[in-house]
């Protein structure tokens, strides 16, 4: 018989702030964390706004800041969110966890490139002016500006490495980067590790920032980003007929997961239980979802089967809900396939309307909102939804938070490349 897996700690760093209660209050109030991009000079870009983390210093959260000098934004976000989750779980210095029974599974992205500003100021401007790049001079400048430590910090595994040092975790250690599905996959796979007894405690979630010249350029070239530069706070419009793309965000979400037996032995406060996980691939195209949503349908179906529940037992769906024409319509279609006649009665909302899209970190932050929705019996809204797309005809909790009975939540994440992951999170029931 497999172990039951419970959530005992949560923490996040988001464009709406970096305290659990403050961010949650902002979401329930329908506030937006989107504003002009300041990480780099975006004045020449088609999209000049994003969801940036503001007024944040990871050193106020960690116990050993000397171990983390020079970290990337991704790692800094991961450290703060994990420290909040760790303290919230009542683990203190970790005396109640054997190091080899403490693991980490993250869905974290690459760090920002050390010479972003150099590339922006020189390479991009040279290209715009149709000038020939002086390769030797460019290479020399890059060598001069790039440091060995910063090069290492760009690697996607580095947030995991720093968390392991901070918390003394010597158990299973994994990082996946399945695009926008990454941190949901990490939580699901961490759950499987605990179920089979390979660890007793797992720190799991994700961290990411793609708010840099290469990240924004890539998404602009894909025509995936909104270009509402005159109204950034209303630019993220999931399920709206006039949506024109997602808004890039950044941050981290971290959860402390434990086997039920371990949590109960130490008297931990249990916030919720993970009862289901489903994963699938579209096997279709790199940037396009299958028109019938076969990947999302499979992920949701597998998660419900794993949780041993039927669709009508779900009280809330935290949608992937990016605000692109393709995603919102196909996710709606997939929900209808899985839920059948129950689909119109299940509330669905997208917090990306407020935070922007945190890419690899998005799923973990959305899983945390499910935990809080269960705790407070309230659903976060989809803001900026005043003219629903006729293809998107479900109950998206438009614009205003809603009190509701919430015992079982389903959280969806779908990534470029066709990766799909779904979690079922339920109220703790002894």
Question: Does the pLDDT value for residue 180 go beyond 60?
Answer: yes
Q: Choosing from 39, 176, 180, 262, which is the catalytic residue? A: 180
Q: Are both 245 and 122 inside the same structural domain?
A: no
Question: Does the pLDDT value for residue 235 go beyond 50?
Answer: yes
Task: Name the E strands within 179-309.
Answer: 201-209, 250-259, 272-281
Domain with residue 15: its CATH number is: 3.40.47.10
Go through the chain and tell me how many residues it has.
Answer: 430
Strand order in 173-175's β-sheet? 173-175, 102-108, 201-209, 250-259, 5-13, 272-281, 419-426, 408-415, 316-318, 348-349
């700690």: which residue's tokens? 9
Give the predicted TM-score (pTM) of the model. Answer: 0.93
The pLDDT of residue 156 is: 86
Asked if residue 381 lies in contact with residue 31, where contact means CB atoms within 8 angstroms, the answer is no
Confidence category of residue 1, pLDDT binned at 50, 70, 90: low
Q: Which of 9-18, 65-74, 225-234, 261-270 has the lowest mean pLDDT?
A: 65-74
Question: Does the pLDDT value for residue 121 go beyond 60?
Answer: no
How does pLDDT run across 355-365, given as a tens digit for each residue? 999 999 999 99
Environment class of 116 (CB within 10 Å of its CB; exposed 0-12, middle 13-18, buried 19+): middle
Neighbours of 407 (CB within 10 A): 16
Question: Does the pLDDT value for residue 423 go beyond 50?
Answer: yes
Q: Are both 128 and 275 inside the same structural domain?
A: no
Asked if residue 181 lies in contact with residue 415, where contact means CB atoms within 8 angstroms, the answer is yes
Asked if residue 34 lies in contact with residue 49, where contact means CB atoms within 8 angstroms, the answer is yes
Q: Are both 142 and 177 inside the same structural domain?
A: no
Report phi then psi at 229, rounded to 5. -65, -20
How does pLDDT run across 200-217, given as a tens digit for each residue? 999 999 999 999 998 999
CA 223 to chain centre: 21
Q: Are both 14 and 93 inside the same structural domain?
A: yes
Q: Are both 252 and 370 inside the same structural domain?
A: yes
Cα–Cα nearest to 213, from 169, 252, 248, 237: 248
Q: Choosing from 18, 39, 320, 409, which is the catalytic residue? A: 320
Q: Are both 107 and 230 inside the same structural domain?
A: yes
Report phi then psi at 317, rounded to 5. -115, 120
Q: Are both 403 and 325 inside the same structural domain?
A: yes
Residue span of the structural domain in which 127 resides: 116-150
């025509």: which residue's tokens? 223
Q: Are both 75 and 132 inside the same structural domain?
A: no
Asked if residue 236 lies in contact with residue 226, where contact means CB atoms within 8 angstroms, the answer is yes
CA atoms in the 13 A half-sphere facing the CB of 406 = 25
Cα–Cα nearest to 75, from 155, 170, 176: 155
Q: Are both 250 and 127 inside the same structural domain?
A: no
Report phi then psi at 279, rounded to 5. -140, 145
Q: Which of 154-163, 229-238, 352-361, 366-375 has the lowest mean pLDDT?
A: 154-163
CA atoms of 350 and 413, how far apart (whole Å): 11
CA atoms of 240 and 238, how far apart (whole Å): 6
End-to-end CA distance of the chain: 17
CA atoms of 51 and 35, how far apart (whole Å): 6
Q: Are both 221 and 298 inside the same structural domain?
A: yes
CA atoms of 269 and 357, how far apart (whole Å): 30
> What does the block give as tokens for 138?
């460019």
Q: Choosing from 357, 370, 392, 409, which is the catalytic residue? A: 357
Confidence category of residue 93, pLDDT binned at 50, 70, 90: low
Q: Are both 120 and 184 inside the same structural domain?
A: no
Count of domains forming the chain: 2
Q: Tell me if residue 262 is catalytic.
A: no
Q: How is the chain split among helix, strand and coil, in percent rounded to 5?
A: 40, 20, 40
Give the end of a domain, one of 126, 150, 174. 150
Q: Are both 132 and 164 inside the same structural domain?
A: no
């Amino acid at each position: 018989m497999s172990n039951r897996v419970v959530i005992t700690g949560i923490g996040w760093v988001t464009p709406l702030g970096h305290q659990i209660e403050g961010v949650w209050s902002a979401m329930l109030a329908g506030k937006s964390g989107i504003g002009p991009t300041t990480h780099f000079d975006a004045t020449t870009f088609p999209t000049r706004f994003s969801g940036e983390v503001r007024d944040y210093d990871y050193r106020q959260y960690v116990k050993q800041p000397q171990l983390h000098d020079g970290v990337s934004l991704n790692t800094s976000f991961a450290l703060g969110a994990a420290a909040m989750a760790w303290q919230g779980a009542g683990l203190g210095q970790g005396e109640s966890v054997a190091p080899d029974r403490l693991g980490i599974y993250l869905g974290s992205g690459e760090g920002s490139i050390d010479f972003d500003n150099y590339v922006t100021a020189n390479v991009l401007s040279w290209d715009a002016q149709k000038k020939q790049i002086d390769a030797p001079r460019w290479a020399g400048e890059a060598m001069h500006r790039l440091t060995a430590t910063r090069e290492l910090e760009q690697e996607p595994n580095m947030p995991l490495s720093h968390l392991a040092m901070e918390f003394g975790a010597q158990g299973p250690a994994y990082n996946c980067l399945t695009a926008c599905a990454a941190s949901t996959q990490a939580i699901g796979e961490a759950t499987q590790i605990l179920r089979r007894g390979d660890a007793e405690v797992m720190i799991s979630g994700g961290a990411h920032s793609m708010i840099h010249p290469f990240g924004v350029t890539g998404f602009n070239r894909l025509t995936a980003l909104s270009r509402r530069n005159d109204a950034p706070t209303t630019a993220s419009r999931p399920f709206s007929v006039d949506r024109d793309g997602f808004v890039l965000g950044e941050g981290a979400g971290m959860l402390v997961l434990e086997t039920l037996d371990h949590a109960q032995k130490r008297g931990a406060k249990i916030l919720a239980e993970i009862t289901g996980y489903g994963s699938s691939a579209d096997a279709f195209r790199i940037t396009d979802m299958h028109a019938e949503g076969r990947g999302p349908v499979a992920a949701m179906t597998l998660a419900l089967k794993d949780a041993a529940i039927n669709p009508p037992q779900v009280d809330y769906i935290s949608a992937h809900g990016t605000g692109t024409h393709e995603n919102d319509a196909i996710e709606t279609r997939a929900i209808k396939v899985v839920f059948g006649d129950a689909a119109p009665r299940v509330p669905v909302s997208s917090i990306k309307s407020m935070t922007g899209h945190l890419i690899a970190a998005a799923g973990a932050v959305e899983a945390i909102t499910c935990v809080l929705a269960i705790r407070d019996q309230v659903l976060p809204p989809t803001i900026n939804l005043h003219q629903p797309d006729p293809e998107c005809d479900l109950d998206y909790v438009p614009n205003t938070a809603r009190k509701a009975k919430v015992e079982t939540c389903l959280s969806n994440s779908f990534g470029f490349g066709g990766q799909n992951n779904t979690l079922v999170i339920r109220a703790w029931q002894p």
